[in-house]
Amino acid sequence: MKKIIVSKKAKELLRKTIDEKWKLVRAKKITDRGRYNCHLCQGFRKGDCAGCPIFMKTGHKFCKKTPYAKWAKHQRRVHPKLYFNKIYCATCKKIATQEINFLEALYEECEVETK
């Protein structure tokens, strides 16, 4: 499998995004507040996603072409009047699982750069 070379910080933030965000979202312990509670966005998004391993993998900004896009669309269409993105139904849970699987697979592809 092709490796994605990332900074140490990037790989750590990816781990945190899985363990301290998405697993808790799926467990209904927290809500998704988009970039405001994404460790990767907080670390990298200065309007252009530079350095974010998700962007490095997909080549698309703002998590386009990832399960997150599907999640956001589902939340908007099916649960539109509710302020927070979170688990409301079985489909929400299914997409949250896809997001976690996507991030875990990406984590495996990431190799920390050696200086």
Would you say 2 or 81 has its CB closer to Zn ion? 81
Question: Closest approach of Cβ 94 to Zn ion, in Å?
Answer: 9
Question: Closest approach of Cβ 55 to Zn ion, in Å?
Answer: 26
E-strand stretches of the chain: 4-6, 110-112
- 6-36 in b/e burial notation, b at 16+ Cβ within 10 A? beeebbebbeebbeebbeebbeeebebeeee
Would you say 39 or 74 has its CB closer to Zn ion? 74
Q: Site residues (CB under 5 A) for Zn ion? A: 78, 88-89, 91-92
How far is 103 from 15, CA to CA, in rounded Å? 8
Would you say 78 or 105 has its CB closer to Zn ion? 78
Question: Closest approach of Cβ 46 to Zn ion, in Å?
Answer: 31
